[in-house]
Amino acid sequence: MRLYGPRQSRRCSDLLFLILFLAFAVALGFVLQMSIRDGNPALLLNGVDGDGKVCGVDHTDYKYLYYAIQVDSVTSAPQEEADL
């Protein structure tokens, strides 16, 4: 019984995918470089108040953000929206 190994005549079959993947990696590196240079990671980690100041960074005395949400109860909807 003879065992056959891998094919002897191999060739690259995913050249298009390799080109697309490398283009994606270059684009991702460009976006990462721009975000590190121009971005503010504190905005992702901390809250922002109404004046646009980052809590815990711009307000060093106040570490936490408090959201005051006013909820009004609705007793009836306007007539033009109620017909939907």
- Average pLDDT (47-74) is 70
Residue 84 placed within a domain: no
Q: Is residue 1 assigned to a domain?
A: no
Q: Is 90 exceeded by the pLDDT of residue 28?
A: yes
Q: pTM for the full model?
A: 0.47
Asked if residue 47 has pLDDT above 80, the reply is no
Residue 4 lies in a domain: no
Q: Is residue 58 part of a domain?
A: yes
- Tell me if 6 is assigned to some domain: no
Residue 21 and residue 29 in contact, taking contact as beta carbons nearer than 8 Å:
no
The secondary structure element, H or E, covering residue 82 is helix 79-82
Instruction: Decide if 83 is inside a domain.
Output: no
Domain span holding position 46: 15-72
Domain count of the chain? 1
Most confident of 8-12, 29-33, 70-74: 29-33
Higher pLDDT, 73 or 84: 73
Average pLDDT over residues 78-82: 59
Q: CA 29 to CA 62: how far, in whole Å?
A: 36
Please list the helix, strand and coil fractions of the chain in percent, rounded to the nearest 5, in that order: 40, 5, 55
